[in-house]
Amino acid sequence: MALYQVETKLSEDEALERAREFFGEDGLGLHLKEQQDCCLEFTGGGGHVSVIAVNGEGIRLEIETREWDRQVGQFMEEVGG
């Protein structure tokens, strides 16, 4: 299991929507197991991806994954900045 963090200029809602599009059924095809106001959890392919949006001076995404490290890296490049 690996833990990652990325700062984004997106709003919390935009960041979580991008995660849903990237990892979900229309993206990588992972199953959206759980959704709350600030977080999403996806499962599939023998692993999982959890995305938590943390409000502060900006939005920080905390991402936990097993088996999807490369794809998480791609997602962080897309939303980072």
Q: Is 16 helix (H, G, I), strand (E, B) or coil?
A: helix
Question: What is the model's pLDDT at position 58?
Answer: 87
Q: Are 79 and 20 in contact (CB under 8 A)?
A: no
pLDDT at 71 over 80: yes
Residue position matching structure tokens 């992972």: 30
Q: Are 64 and 1 in contact (CB under 8 A)?
A: yes
Give pTM, 2 decimals: 0.95
Which distant-in-sequence residues (6+ apart) come within 8 Å of 18 by Cβ? 10, 75, 78, 79
Mean pLDDT of 45-60: 94
**Chain segment 3-47, per-residue pLDDT in tens:** 999 999 999 999 999 999 999 999 999 999 999 999 999 999 999
